[in-house]
Structure 1
Amino acid sequence: MRLITSTSRKHTLRAAALVASAAMVAVGVQTGSATAAADRENGATALALSAGQRVSALKDAQAGASSTAAKIGLGGKEKLVVRDVVKDANGTVHTRYERTYDGLPVLGGDLVVHQAKSGSRSVTKATETDISVPTTSASLAPAAAKQKALGVAAAEKTAKADGQAPRKVIWAAGGKAVLAYETVVKGVQKDGTPSKLHVVTDAASGKTLFQREAIETGSGTSTYSGTVPLTTTKTSSGYALTDGARGGHKTYDLKQGTSGTGTLFTNSSDVWGSGRQAAAVDAHYGAAVTWDFYKNVLGRSGIKGDGVGAYSRVHYGNGYVNAFWDDDCFCMTYGDGENNANPLTSLDVAAHEMTHGVTSATAGLNYSGESGGLNEATSDIFGTASEFYANNSSDAGDYLIGEKIDINGDGTPLRYMDKPSKDGGSKDYWSSSLGNNDVHYSSGPANHFFYLLSEGSGAKTINGVSYNSPTYDNSKVTGIGRDKATKIWYKALTTYFTSTTNYKAARTGTLKATADLYGSTSTEYKTVAAAWTAINVK
């Protein structure tokens, strides 16, 4: 999430990300008097794996990667690299792979192999294109590709731009497979946010094929959560903001710096909140709530699913009015706002931004076009779900995005999930031109879908907030509840979405996820279909 104003810069983001894997483990058969629907949901729920089981899973899945590549019909020059394995309680295994061709990474070549306990197999691919190029010898020199990338950075007005050595890749996300270079240009964006601009350049023509910004920016403010519990660690001289219950998450003070880790917050007592600590309290609390939401609601242990905590840095820069997630440091960073007066450390910022890390570690949705809108919507969806989960009376759950930060200066929120167009830029429904919009506006239909699936259409009041959600075809949608809607989106994200998933594919993926959880003849399945139709995705 980021501030959306008339002077907002064009924002493009990373196309793929590294992910962890998990292995098959034996599970006991559940017994009892639960309903068939509950049994189905439990059976399709992902199993939680220990760190050791995950390590074994990676090794086992990679050991069988060559055999899998042959079974699904890949060419002799193609190999699979395991990114993630999700094992459902019913024995179904979803293995996510990156692909290489003749030793080169294939950007947009990711796929997921779904194998049922019975042995039946299906595949979800980011592209159906055959991966093959006439030669892997580039006519364009690496130095020329780097200069092209620096030119892209200059057009984005990236300050202090410094391009790394390009790496040769196969670009497959645009349709036909093309030999290309990927160059990472580091620098500083116009608002002071660090920049890690990835530029993909055709290795023959020098044409820019794709660009994405790897730093995920966000918006919010502090002091909205009131008095909150914190998990800290006792030290020889007092306490430190280290959360041993949540993967060792730490919160640091950058002291207005813009690099490095900073200084770990410590205190003589376990009562926090004075002075510079206030921002740290909000950041530490937001990280804890986000961790607990993913673990207790969705069964995910940490952002990468490996039980390892990220870390937070507060007091970034001078008058920096933003916050961002960075996969490279695996950390959240918060500025102090205009005049260093309002640190951007609210719960909705933490949950939204850390969800970018989850998306990166799973589907890796390209932050451009329709997949970029789905990426942004995923952060809004789970940010909203986390806010409801927190059940904090100082910031009650709602379907408004950024409602506390008053970006517009008139008390209105940044985005609305029940009718996205109320923000003046977001779209309520899908159209063929949707992908041409900024991803924060093309996220609108997916946010609208989630609201309709959760709460249904028409007028209603929830936690004191009034909503009135329309539909494209004037149909009436009856919601299935936020809990089920959240689980459906998460299962689709982790097992059926890929880097290139668009709205049509998201419909397919969520329907498959719903069939897994509740059955293909269930009310939930019919409602998912109806909610997509209600935003003009058919």
Structure 2
Amino acid sequence: MSDMQKVFKRSALVIALAALSAPVLAAPDAEARARGHIESFAGYTMHGNGHAYGLRDVVTDADGGTHARFDRTFRGMRVIGGDLVVHNDGNGNFRGASHTLRHVINMSDVARITPAAAARAALAAHAGDTQGKPAEKVVYARGATPQLAYDVRVFGEQADGTPSEMHVIVDATNGAVLEMWNDIHTAAVNGTGKSLYSGTVSLGTNSLSSGYEMRDPSRGGIYTTNMNKKTSGAGTVFTDADNVWGNGTTSDLASAAVDAQYGTAVTWDYYKNVHGRTGIDGTGAKVAYNKVHYGRSYANAFWSDSCFCMTYGDGNSSIKPLVSLDVAGHEMTHGVTSRTANLTYSGESGGLNEATSDIFGSMVEFYANNTSDAGDYLIGEKIMVGKAFMRNMMQPSKDGVSADCWYSGLGSIDVHYSSGPANHMFFMLAEGTNSALGASKTCNAGDTKTATGNGSVTGIGRDAAGKIWYRALTVYMTSSTNYAGARVAALKAASDLYGAGSTQYNSVAAAFSAINVN
């Protein structure tokens, strides 16, 4: 029996015996009893020599159980990441502890750099002013191993005028910046948006002293700006007095902004809730934003890595403003691809890049479950004038230029059209060759732009298909993956998720064979 098991067995016995006769703790005793448990159960609380604790609060349950929250210090230094909650039952018996420490803190408190040097390092990493506040020597325990550090507070102003109070954590041995965060936390509120394509929607917005801005603190701070027909700069963040945005028509510039902000929010939620991905970069640390009303009669939309943003034009006589839900999902997915497989935007890899954006643009549309823009496998169906869609995943050749099937010269055509076979494959994988959403033909040997086969593929459902493609993209594809490589990547992903030889695995193989990729 290990020492930890012996401790646990003894503590369990103490708890069992005490529970028979101990009176319910009076509230004033909760702190004292919790402090006693910190030392008595040091293996659970990570208590050690030089540790001290300041009570922050006590939560008392209906049954008398208490949860005492403490801030930890070590040799008088604040321990960032050392906070601790001690849980007692209604009789005052120890029930456990919550903390994030991995190791007991026991380290030298002698710094190798001065507070002034730490301040210089912090100001080099984040512009601002310390306002004369000295760097505070602390223990930084948010990483794998506790480190001696300085907490340097840097004051400034954010781009939108909101004050900034950054904590810049500087390694006390070498001056490296370990982490930083802002003490200014803006308020997220729910606004109402009247969109061009998705009806009336709820928007996460930010409360300001003078009203509201189209910025969503609950989704990584994503925001939308008005370019006002300009093509340079970042534009101006949309603001509003009553948190009701747009009027559902192009007569109000905020209507298109509602679509863009809503599309970005739904895409954020889709990747977070379906694939466990936080934000485009996967960490939520980098803020994506939208620029709408770009240029004059600009009939396109694009993602740019350099600004980490989506840009939308207002269209022209043949296309409406390009802010529909599937287009938003498409553009944000380019950012996801750039942070994962980074498929080079030419040749077959470029076609796979575009197909990936179409695939997840459609999945975002289905995920939204919005009756004003129901999910489908048509891309841009809401924005076209005189045409039913921009691209059709069920039969890509219906746009007149895209290929249904893989062939040896596929990589030489425009990436928007060489995306066709992958879109075609995904539809068959998700829905099958015949479904309530539409029918699709398989490819015969020699088919290029138009599929003529009568084979069949049994769909596995869009959720499973989406998870397979996401894992293939993020785990197995690389920048130069071609269609043959995509088949291998998708089969590996299906094997990981569902098992080699599973129904899902076999359907992936069949769907790729149905576009002549064997």
TM over 0.5, shorter chain: yes
Tell whether the 8 Å contact from 1:387 to 1:396 is kept in structure 2 after alignment: yes
Q: Which has more radius of gyration? A: 2
Report 1:436-475 matches (<5 A). 436-458=412-434, 460-462=435-437, 466-472=438-444, 474-475=454-455
CA displacement, residues 518-537 of structure 1 (integer Å, 9 cap, x when unaligned): 00021111111111111110
CA displacement, residues 117-166 of structure 1 (integer Å, 9 cap, x when unaligned): xxxxxxxxxxxxxxxxxxxxxxxxxxxxxxxxxxxxxxxxxxxxxxxxxx
Tell whether the 8 Å contact from 1:457 to 1:471 is kept in structure 2 after alignment: no
Structure 2 residue aligned with 1:219? none
Aligned with 2:302 (options 315, 318, 324)? 324
1:324 aligns to what SS in structure 2? strand
Aligned with 2:216 (options 212, 221, 243)? 243
Aligned with 1:256 (options 229, 235, 242)? 229
Cα distance, 1:340 vs structure 2: 12
2:406 aligns to what SS in structure 1? coil
Cα distance, 1:276 vs structure 2: 1.4
CA separation in 1, counterparts of 2:241 and 2:393? 43
Q: How many residue pairs get matched? A: 312
Query: Relative to structure 1, is the Cα distance of residues 339 and 445 closer, same or farther in structure 2, using a 3 angstrom cutoff?
Result: closer
CA separation in 1, counterparts of 2:365 and 2:319? 24
CA separation in 2, counterparts of 1:342 and 1:416? 18
Which segment drifts farther, 331-340 or 448-457?
A: 331-340
CA separation in 2, counterparts of 1:340 and 1:439? 22
Aligned with 1:223 (options 185, 196, 213)? 196
Cα distance, 1:324 vs structure 2: 1.3
CA separation in 2, counterparts of 1:428 and 1:468? 10
Structure 1 residue aligned with 2:501? 521
Question: Structure 1 regions of 5+ residues with no counterpart?
Answer: 1-51, 53-221
Residue 360 of structure 2 corresponds to residue 382 of structure 1? yes
Which amino acid in the other structure matches residue 441 of structure 1?
Y
CA displacement, residues 318-377 of structure 1 (integer Å, 9 cap, x when unaligned): 221221111000011112222799432111111101111111111010111111110000
2:472 aligns to what SS in structure 1? helix
Over aligned residue pairs, what C-alpha RMSD do you find?
1.7
Report 1:385-464 matches (<5 A). 385-407=363-385, 409=386, 411-458=387-434, 460-462=435-437
Aligned with 1:296 (options 273, 286, 301)? 273
CA displacement, residues 64-99 of structure 1 (integer Å, 9 cap, x when unaligned): xxxxxxxxxxxxxxxxxxxxxxxxxxxxxxxxxxxx
Residue 278 of structure 2 corresponds to residue 315 of structure 1? no
Cα distance, 1:309 vs structure 2: 2.9
Tell whether the 8 Å contact from 1:319 to 1:340 is kept in structure 2 after alignment: no
2:223 aligns to what SS in structure 1? strand
Structure 2 residue aligned with 1:285? 262
Query: Relative to structure 1, is the Cα distance of residues 486 and 340 closer, same or farther in structure 2, using a 3 angstrom cutoff?
Result: closer
Cα distance, 1:461 vs structure 2: 2.3
Report 1:84-103 matches (<5 A). none
Tell whether the 8 Å contact from 1:323 to 1:344 is kept in structure 2 after alignment: yes
1:231 aligns to what SS in structure 2? strand
Identity of aligned residues (%): 63
1:453 aligns to what SS in structure 2? helix
CA separation in 2, counterparts of 1:340 and 1:362? 34
1:426 aligns to what SS in structure 2? coil
Tell whether the 8 Å contact from 1:456 to 1:469 is kept in structure 2 after alignment: no
Question: Structure 2 regions of 5+ residues with no counterpart?
Answer: 1-80, 82-194, 445-452
Aligned with 2:459 (options 458, 474, 479)? 479
Which amino acid in the other structure matches residue 524 of structure 1?
Q
Structure 1 residue aligned with 2:315? 337
CA separation in 1, counterparts of 2:317 and 2:505? 50
Which amino acid in the other structure matches residue 470 of structure 1?
T
- Which structure has more RCO (C-alpha within 8 Å, separation ≥ 6)? 1
CA separation in 2, counterparts of 1:236 and 1:518? 52
Which amino acid in the other structure matches residue 304 of structure 2?
D
Which amino acid in the other structure matches residue 290 of structure 1?
T
Which amino acid in the other structure matches residue 260 of structure 2?
A
Tell whether the 8 Å contact from 2:211 to 2:240 is kept in structure 1 after alignment: yes
1:232 aligns to what SS in structure 2? strand
Structure 2 residue aligned with 1:503? 483
Tell whether the 8 Å contact from 1:419 to 1:470 is kept in structure 2 after alignment: no
1:228 aligns to what SS in structure 2? strand
Cα distance, 1:250 vs structure 2: 1.2
CA separation in 1, counterparts of 2:440 and 2:302? 32
Structure 2 residue aligned with 1:354? 332
CA displacement, residues 489-528 of structure 1 (integer Å, 9 cap, x when unaligned): 0000000000000000100000001100000021111111
